[in-house]
Amino acid sequence: MTTFFSDWYYLSIRNIKQIWRPLLALIPSLFIPLFFFIVNSSSLQAFANLKDFPKDISYRDFIAPVAIFTAIFFSSGNAGIEMVQDIANGYLKKLLIMPIHRLAIVLGRLTEVAVLALFQGMVVLIPLLLIGVHIKTGFLGIVAMFTILILFAMAWSCIGMITALRTQNARLVQSLFILVFPFLNLTTAAAPKNLLPDWFRIVATINPVTSIIEGVRALVLYGWDSPAIIQGFLTALVLFVIMVSFTLISFRKALK
């Protein structure tokens, strides 16, 4: 068991080092969420004047949680890309013939995703706090917010890892990035459910990303008594368990 944790630790350190090499690769995923936050909060602020918009909430604060979520969403595809690179250049095979726990290889990647999500989320959260976005649930709310977001980031990163393991095709793994757009836009990211047209509202309700955004939004805007928090947490947890299970199955099957 001790060796399992040490394998996990050293593989995580190796993967975390990859995040910063090259550092420039991180900039777009940090810049874009802030860019959309600035553009949307100024261009769509009239939404807040609509009769059915939540009372006493500015549009800037309404979409602030989406900016944090988007930063994490954008970067959680990296794990699949790094996995397919390890497969393509043969490095994963080197790991597979070492006396290490194979689960540690997957957990090492997920740890990297968690660290990156925390970093990306904090880099976006800090400017939001500086411009006056208030987190109603305080410091513990931030901890809860990152718990939901990191669980979701790890679950989402599994899509890339499963595709990498099943297809070993770098182009396909990279192209998965486009999935972010329908999953992000067909939600309540830009407007509350009651302002959405019927068809959109149905799609947004089915889309699990809505629960994540609503959970994070509740922590920022509404306080601990909102049921959206527990719903967001449970959605992230269930997605995490399902997706990690599928990744482990793919890992066992793919390289034989």
Partner 1 sequence: MSQENQIIQVRNLAKTYPGGTEAVRGVSFDVREGEFFGFLGPNGAGKSTTINMMVNLVKKTSGTIKIDGFDLDSHASEIYSRIGFAMQEIGLDETATAREMLELHGRLYHMPKAKIQDQIAKLLKLVELEKVADRYASTYSGGMRRRFDLALSLIHEPRILFLDEPTQGLDPHARQLIWNHLRELNKAGMTVFLTTHFMDEAETLCERIAIMDKGQIVTMGTPAELLEKHEAKNLEEIFLKTTGSNLADEEVNLNAPDPYARRRG
Residue 212 tokens read as 């994540």
Which of 27, 39, 50, 96 touches partner 1 (CB under 8 A)? Answer: 96
CB atoms within 10 A of CB 255: 13
Closest CB to partner 1 among residues 89, 175: 89
43 contributes a contact to partner 1 by CB under 8 A: no
Question: Is 93 among the residues that bind partner 1 (CB under 8 A)?
Answer: yes
**Burial letters 62-90, b for 16+ CB under 10 A, else e:** bbbbbbbbbbbbbbbbbbbbbbbebbeee
- Say how far apart CA 34 and CA 115 lie, in whole Å: 20
89 touches partner 1 (CB under 8 A): yes
Contact between 42 and partner 1 (CB under 8 A)? no
Exactly one of 1, 21, 46, 171 binds partner 1 (CB under 8 A); that residue is 21
Of residues 11, 68, 133, 212, which one binds partner 1 by CB under 8 A? 11
End-to-end CA distance of the chain: 25
Q: Does 91 bind partner 1 (CB under 8 A)?
A: yes
Phi-psi sector, 132: left (phi>0), alpha (psi -120 to 50), beta: left
Alpha carbon 84 to its chain centroid, in Å, reads 19
174 makes contact with partner 1 (CB under 8 A): no
Q: Of 84-92, 205-213, 218-226, 233-241, which part binds partner 1 (CB under 8 A)?
A: 84-92
C-alpha 254/C-alpha 162 separation (Å) is 9
Place of tokens 């990156």: 116
- 175 binds partner 1, rule: CB under 8 A: no
Does the protein bind partner 1 through residue 252 (CB under 8 A)? no
Pick the closer one to partner 1 by CB: 90 or 197.
Answer: 90
166 lies in the binding site for partner 1 (CB under 8 A): no
Residue 134, interface with partner 1 (CB under 8 A)? no
Chain centre to alpha carbon of residue 145? 11
Interacting residues with partner 1 (CB under 8 A)? 3, 6-7, 10-11, 13-14, 17-18, 21, 85-86, 89-100, 255-256
